[in-house]
Chains A and B, each alone.
Chain A
Amino acid sequence: MTKYKGYMGRVLFVDLTEKTFSEFPWTDKDRERTLGGKIMAADILLHHITPEMKAFDEDNWIVVTTGPLTGCGCPNTSRFNISTVSPLTNIVTSSNCGGDFGLSLKRAGYDAVIFSGRSEEPVTVHITSDNVEFESASELWGLTTGETQEKLSEYKGRLVIGPAGENKVLYACVFSNERTAGRGGVGAVFGDKKLKAVTAVGTKLPEIANEEKLKEFNVKWTKLLKTHPLTGRQLPKLGSAGLIAPMQAHSILATKNFSAGRFDGFEKVSGEELAENHLVSNGACTGCVIRCARRVNVDGKVVKGPELETLGLFGPNILNDDIEKILKWNYELDELGMDAISCAGSIAFAMELAEKGVHDFGVHFGETDNISSVFEDIAYRRGEGNYIADGSKRMSDFFGGKEYAINAKGMELAAYEPRHAVGQGLGYATANRGGCHLNAGYMVVVEGLGLDVNSLTPHGKAAIGIMFQNLMECISAAGSCMFTSYAVLPGFLIAKPNMLATKVILACFPYVGPVVNLLSHFTKVPQINIPLLPHAIAVKLATGMKSNMAKFLTWGAYGWNAERMANIILGQKAGADKLPKRLTEELQDPNNPKTKVPLEKMKKVFYRARGWKDGIPTWHRLKTLGFDIDKSVYDKAVAAARTED
């Protein structure tokens, strides 16, 4: 139990081998150190994993965590997290989802659930407040995600996998309602454990430390989100798909396997095209006031529409300008249970290998008639699809082409071409889970899309990137949607880009690195709450725990270092923060020498600011942040990380 409100105070531990369950010890000290969500999961995994543990080892755990704000009535706080050792990257992955499962888990009385072991037969786990039932999933095995959820429709909180998860496609995902824990292959780990589905139901709700004040505060927070130019206008009107046109303008729209940043047919696959000609209605995660999700018509059925990543990576990146096909593919991918980003990135890489005459996988740039059948081949691991199911890194290990296999640490990059947004490039390379735009610190929103900061200069990017990485880590851990973090940027900087004050402030951005570093490191300084970081105030009102901007930066830094140390113990090498040579050595614009990612130069600044050496946290940094890991474990892991591959 816990003295803090906001939490349910219990963590469930489920042994799939023995079909038993128990309570996992988690104390208030642990809560104070990690807050919740992905930071809590990283800490649990850090203390559990052993050197060289692999995703499909029986000992690998799936850790599903919620944040303290989930269930407390705050806007956009139904998000939950799934962390595990990833089969795609062999390091920790954390995948965030906006489905109903997180809220339902709390209603069942738990803040988190850990799955260990492996069932011999397909199993569905039913969680209630006083029991856990293990039911055979033999009749569900083989069904798509939609079919499985239909069979389990009596349960509000659901987690399910589709055929891709069952067949251990390395980027298989997990569904909760229409929302997805998409990245890093968490669905494949479910499949390996024969865990077809999990349900959670209950009637409990967390107590609130200061209920009246939180209610008042939530009204203000909702108003902030609804009036901010990004969360109140652009996202509801155009969804994340609204980024296609600005990405084209700023030359960061990944095209033809990241060989270019602009695509002539971009308008046909844009957010405007989606909004004007295909949008049936907006959709939303539970409790969301932004409502950025798109609902579209596919073959007479209203289904979830594509996000920016799917439009970009199955559009320009494979030279396709047919949006109707992307709508259909998005639905098919969801039903099979595969991550659209990694699937598209792997197909684009296969197309380039075919174009270069290395190996013909049956997929070619601009040819799209067979993509649906390729999805089936991937999900069921048939023929050439079996190679593509393993992702671009393993394909490049086997066939070559590493310099244009567009992944970081084995995870395919999102749709932002980083040679025209070099801070985003640094983020991709350093992100703990691999080529993720959000874990990267989402610098593109500063480098042109939201703010007009010089996108080609490396100056200031490391410091600002670290601050965003830490804040977003903590915002996620609180249970909030990452998109609420955009409201951290003052509205006038975004809505009034041509105002003199905006121009002056943005011109200074590249030079604020030292100040930002001071704030990040000497956390006695920002012991304040600011209106633009409402999450910190809400945590204080909901839980009664001390919370402010400094705490958020510290929690975020703890999470970042916990995931990084777990990765080092799992065998990540010192030089792992890298990008394919296409992005660091080939110019996007042959006439502009700045259009490549100056990664090595930026990494030095980044590591110094993080208190890392060669990508590894120093012992001093870990102690400063309050880590309690064994020094001998640390020394052994660091020594192994410094050996050659």
Chain B
Amino acid sequence: MAKVTVKLFGVYRVDTHIANTEIDAQKLSDVLDELNKMAVGENKSSIAFADATVFINGEHCKKKKQKLNDGDEIWLLSPASGG
């Protein structure tokens, strides 16, 4: 098990009220599962962590089975637009 820091951004943070958390996990999919258990709030049913754009230590990661290391920092982002 690796202890990783997870940061939520965009609608993930606003909907779950989770900004940062630490999770013990072997791979990225474990983190997403754990977040699903942790998520609270009125919009829980609309939260789909599997759809997040993920960055690990600043690098875009598209593999759900990506193995994690102690101290990794994981960002979960929702799609965004603006101007």
Contacts and interface: CB of A to CB of B under 8 A. Distances in A.
Interface of A: 229-230, 233-235, 237-243, 245-246, 249-250, 262, 270-272, 275-276, 292, 307-309, 437-438, 442, 445, 449-452, 482-483, 486, 494-498, 503
B19 A272 contact: yes
Given A276-B14, A449-B81, 16 more contacts: A230-B80, A233-B11, A234-B79, A234-B81, A235-B82, A237-B10, A246-B53, A272-B13, A272-B19, A275-B14, A292-B82, A307-B82, A307-B83, A482-B83, A495-B48, A497-B53
Given A437-B83, A442-B83, A246 B51 contact: no
B22 to A, nearest CB: 17
A495 B82 contact: no
B16 to A, nearest CB: 12
Contacts of A242: 10, 80, 82
A449 B79 contact: yes
27 contacts: A229-B79, A233-B78, A234-B81, A235-B81, A235-B82, A240-B81, A240-B82, A240-B83, A241-B82, A242-B82, A243-B80, A245-B10, A246-B53, A249-B55, A249-B60, A270-B9, A272-B14, A275-B14, A276-B19, A308-B82, A451-B79, A452-B53, A483-B81, A494-B79, A495-B48, A495-B79, A498-B62
Nearest to A249: B55
Contact of B51 (A309, A483, A497): A497
B70 to A, nearest CB: 22
Contacts of A450: 79-81
Contacts of A245: 9-10, 75, 77, 80
A43 to B, nearest CB: 25
A252 to B, nearest CB: 12
A445 B50 CA distance: 21
B64 interface: yes
B59 to A, nearest CB: 10
Contacts of A262: 58
Contacts of A239: 82
B79 A230 contact: yes
Interface of B: 9-11, 13-15, 19, 48, 50-51, 53, 55, 58, 60, 62, 64, 75, 77-83
Nearest to B13: A272
Contacts of B15: 237
A486 B81 contact: yes
Q: Which 7 A-B pairs have the closest CB atoms?
A: A240-B82, A245-B9, A494-B79, A230-B81, A243-B82, A486-B81, A246-B80
Contacts of A486: 81
Contacts of A238: 10-11, 14, 80
Given A237-B11, A245-B10, A496 B51 contact: yes
A452 B55 CA distance: 13
A483 B83 contact: yes
Nearest to A503: B62
Contacts of B83: 240, 307-309, 437-438, 442, 482-483
Contacts of B19: 272, 276
A272 B53 contact: no
A240 B83 CA distance: 6
B26 to A, nearest CB: 19
Per DSSP, are chain A's interface residues mostly helix, strand or loop, or mixed? helix
Contacts of A437: 83
Nearest to B19: A272
Nearest to B62: A498
A485 B57 CA distance: 33
Contacts of A494: 79
Contact of A249 (B13, B62, B77): B77
A533 B48 CA distance: 27
Contacts of B78: 229, 233-234
B19 to A, nearest CB: 7
Nearest to B8: A272
A238 B82 CA distance: 10
A498 B65 CA distance: 13
A498 B55 CA distance: 13
B14 A246 contact: no
A234 B50 contact: no
Contacts of A249: 9, 53, 55, 58, 60, 75, 77
B79 A497 contact: yes
A495 B49 CA distance: 11
A313 to B, nearest CB: 13
A495 B48 CA distance: 9
Contacts of A276: 13-14, 19
A445 B15 CA distance: 22
A622 B53 CA distance: 43
Contacts of A233: 11, 78
Contacts of A243: 80-82
A271 B81 CA distance: 12
A234 B11 contact: yes
B17 to A, nearest CB: 9
A445 B53 contact: no
A234 B64 CA distance: 24
Contacts of B51: 495-498
A636 to B, nearest CB: 37
A49 B13 CA distance: 51
A233 B14 CA distance: 10
Contacts of B79: 229-230, 234, 246, 449-451, 494-495, 497
A234 B78 CA distance: 8
A411 B58 CA distance: 31
Contacts of B81: 230, 234-235, 240, 243, 445, 449-450, 483, 486
Contacts of A445: 81
Contacts of A271: 10
Given A308-B82, A442-B83, A246 B13 contact: no
A54 to B, nearest CB: 29
A191 B49 CA distance: 52
A246 to B, nearest CB: 5
Contacts of A483: 81-83
A392 B12 CA distance: 38
Contacts of B60: 249-250
A386 B57 CA distance: 44
By CB atoms of chain A within 10 A, which of B55, B79, B81 has the most?
B81
A74 to B, nearest CB: 20
A431 to B, nearest CB: 13
Contacts of A503: 62
